[in-house]
Structure 1
């Protein structure tokens, strides 16, 4: 069987078991890159059974030489293991060579984050009102950019002060309370900024031209604002989510509460996710 045929079956399987669109899209992209590499290397279409561990190791080295991050390379390992696990189970091939691929050691780096004061300065340099509200919402809810993009009008209950995240990462639902700072921001957006007459869509966040928002556009405007301010920080939509958790921790919220708000599967993920200020750590040590 051709590698591309096996990949097609695998992607259909992922859809059948209700994996998210983002997950299927990501797997398709990574396996497509691998297929392109193999096709160039072997000068033509490649059969699944002909792919050896050496091919995978050579591909991983190729990614390293192209300066791909450790996180990206580890994602490739995970995707290949998942694909070959499926292929062996369905008897499309005999051996799961990907099981022998070594994960790449990741050096954990301190993430950038922003405070409430910095948020106010930042949004004063975001001139698109819809995106400005998206940025404020992510900072005050910890929502993912994909969750903001998929948010429907019916999911934002301003009366009961709660946002319903429907099928977030891992297809999990969760509710996020709308705090006293965010509530007037969302009320003003819905009543005065969102163009209800000229936007025929049920997305809560919608730009007239597209009827929705995109992660690329949000991140582009964030970068432009940071550059304009001359900050030595890398601020993205994901950093806003990270900042939400970090600021809650700094104000005394429990890890369990932050975990539930962020929608993490376990506390280990949450604890890795948060910025630990060195002064705060020193204070903790000195309590003894």
Structure 2
């Protein structure tokens, strides 16, 4: 079995069996292509079913000189999954990555915004902004409010459908990782902003494939993830906020603010769509950091 054949089979598995989005599949494949490039550069003629643990170890040693520990760990994990698949399909008898340890990682807490930061960014949106005759200011405000008030991933936001809106019940239906669906509460204020955008959307020449897509560009096509990043980047620059802010920052802020205001971890897990509560537990570390800050600031024996 050649590398291209194995990668194509694996892509199909990730798409059909695991239900991953194309962006996630591309990330997995990119890391596999790195080891294929390593083999070519070192004139190593080992196929995916022949590659040895020693070769993989040499590859890991090479990337350890080029990448930070977190990137190394991601690549090792991706390769382990790839070779697990080959073992599962009986192309190999053993996984050459099984005995290779990932670098130790310190706890990386997600970046968050304060409520004041979020208000500052959203208030900077020009509601009169138009492009090619389409008012995009109200769209942008609805986008940011939806990201923050519902804690969505950017791909979940761009894939949101009009048919996913259940405003009378106070929920939206979200399709997350692995095509798993969940219902997330949506507040009245965010509903109102979306309704304003829907009125504007009626005057756009919507492309057939995007008829049910909620957020569109001025051409009537589905909004891209990259454009959401751009909208946020420009607003952050506009207000002069000295922080790195992405769509995911709004999601992290959503979870952090809920926890700080007394929400239970299980409810936050369900709203974020985390498969395991251990993923959600990272926000308890953020909360503890805030408690340490309070002690160090206000306690007389600090």
TMscore range, shorter length: 0.7 to 0.9
Cα gap change, 1:277/1:134 in structure 2, threshold over 3 Å: closer, same or farther? Answer: farther
| Structure 2 spans left out of the alignment, 5+ residues | 127-135
Q: Kindly tell me the number of residue pairs found equivalent between the two proteins.
A: 282
| 1:1-288 matched pairs, under 5 angstroms | 1-22=1-22, 23-42=24-43, 46-67=46-67, 69-127=68-126, 128-129=136-137, 130-166=139-175, 168-192=176-200, 194-200=201-207, 201=210, 202-209=212-219, 211-273=221-283, 275-276=286-287, 278-281=289-292
Specify every segment of 5 or more residues in structure 1 that has no aligned partner in the other structure, as ranges. none
Q: Distance in 1 between matches of 2:215 and 2:14?
A: 29
Residue 16 of structure 1, CA deviation: 3.7
Going from structure 1 to structure 2, the CA distance change for 1:47 and 1:279 (only over 3 Å counts) comes to closer
CA–CA distance in structure 2, aligned partners of residues 62 and 135 of structure 1: 41
Question: Partners in 2 of 1:232 and 1:92 — Cα distance?
Answer: 51
User: Tell me, what secondary structure is at the counterpart of 1:98?
Assistant: coil
Pick which of 216-225 and 149-158 moved more: 216-225
The alignment's C-alpha RMSD in Å is 2.5
TM-score (norm 1): 0.87
User: Alpha-carbon deviations, 1:141-194, whole Å to 9, x = none?
Assistant: 00111111111110012233211013x1132211011113322222222223x3
* Cα drift, residue 49 of structure 1: 4.0
CA distance in 2, matches of 1:63, 1:222: 33
Residues 60-91 of structure 1: CA deviation (Å, up to 9, x unaligned): 23333333x43332221122111112212333
Bigger mean CA offset, 140-149 vs 157-166: 157-166
For 2:250 and 2:31, how far apart are their aligned partners in 1? 27
Does the residue aligned with 2:172 lie in a helix, a strand or coil?
Answer: strand
Kindly indicate whether the alpha-carbon contact (under 8 Å) linking 1:223 and 1:236 is maintained by their aligned counterparts in 2.
yes
The answer on whether the counterparts of 2:158 and 2:223 sit within 8 Å (CA) in structure 1 is: yes
SS state at 1:220 partner: helix
Moved more, 124-133 or 139-148: 124-133
The whole-number CA distance in structure 1 between the counterparts of 2:224 and 2:64 is: 29
Task: Give the stretch that moved more between structures: 75-84 or 48-57.
Answer: 48-57
Distance 1:36 1:234, change over 3 A: same
Contact 1:158/1:187, CA 8 A, preserved across alignment: no
Runs of 4+ with >4 A deviation? 281-286
Q: Given the superposition, is the C-alpha separation of residues 107 and 196 from structure 1 closer, same or farther in structure 2, using an over 3 Å criterion?
A: farther
Whole-Å separation in 2 of the counterparts to 1:152 and 1:14: 24
Change in Cα spacing, 1:75 to 1:195, as seen in structure 2 (3 Å) is farther
* CA 1:109–1:21: 2 relative to 1, 3 Å: closer
- 1:181 to 1:280, Cα distance in 2 relative to 1, 3 A: farther
1: distance between equivalents of 2:65 and 2:255? 35
Q: Tell me how far apart the structure 2 counterparts of residues 149 and 248 of structure 1 sit (CA, whole Å).
A: 23
